[in-house]
Amino acid sequence: MKESTAPQGARKRISADERRRLLVAAALRVMRRDGVAAATTRAICAEASMPHGAFHYCFHTKKDLYAALLATEVEIDLEPMWADASPSATPAENITTLLLAYWAAIEAEPDAQLVLYELADLSLRDPDLHDLAEWEERAGIDKATEAVARLAAEGGFTLRLSDRAVAELVVSMLDGVARAWLRHRDNDRARTALTDFAGLLAAQTTPTKDTP
């Protein structure tokens, strides 16, 4: 057997950002398995195989942790979707592509989505956390606004409504479909609702005029 050359008891040093990421992932695992109430700082650190003091090194309060968890919902990676957005597709097809890219992240991890909803609902009930709910909504709409503007540009159409107004509709629709889906778990029903909604939005578009 090959002997280790590392000093006995030595630990791999990790950056503060990596430690923070690992604690957020551990917190999400605990919450998915046992619920938000069970995610004490000790339980989270135990899940991450870190000493209890590591939590307060990375987060000043549990509110900071909740904010980091809610940010995971906002940080959905849409980049792979853009290869499918094209002027050769209809506006309805392009909008459907965007909605289903968002939807895929929700559908892939329903337990994680339940935790995020539980956290959002908790922040609405707790005055000390209420600004987190406002931040999550604003950040989600900001990112959706960017996506809508880019989709219109790459898809070769303009919207009769403002980009932000459309983004607010998109976020509200996704939220409603997701909450309903968590009850019935009918994937086809959810995707049909999003496709139908894409058709309604497409009716509010006009082709971009070619410039000479």
Please say whether the beta carbons of 182 and 197 come within 8 A: no
- More confident site: 199 or 86: 199
> How far, in Å, CA of 169 to CA of 201, rounded?
9
Mean pLDDT of 60-87: 82
Buried b / exposed e along 131-164 (16+ C-beta atoms within 10 A): ebbeebbeebbebbbebbbebbeebbbebeeebe
Please say whether the beta carbons of 92 and 205 come within 8 A: no
pLDDT in tens, 117-165: 888 888 888 888 888 888 888 999 999 999 999 999 999 999 999 999 9
pLDDT of residue 9: 44
Per-residue pLDDT at 114 exceeds 80? yes
CB atoms near residue 114 (< 10 Å): 17
pLDDT in tens, 190-209: 999 999 999 999 999 999 86
Fold of the domain built from segment(s) 71-207: Tetracycline Repressor; domain 2 (1.10.357)
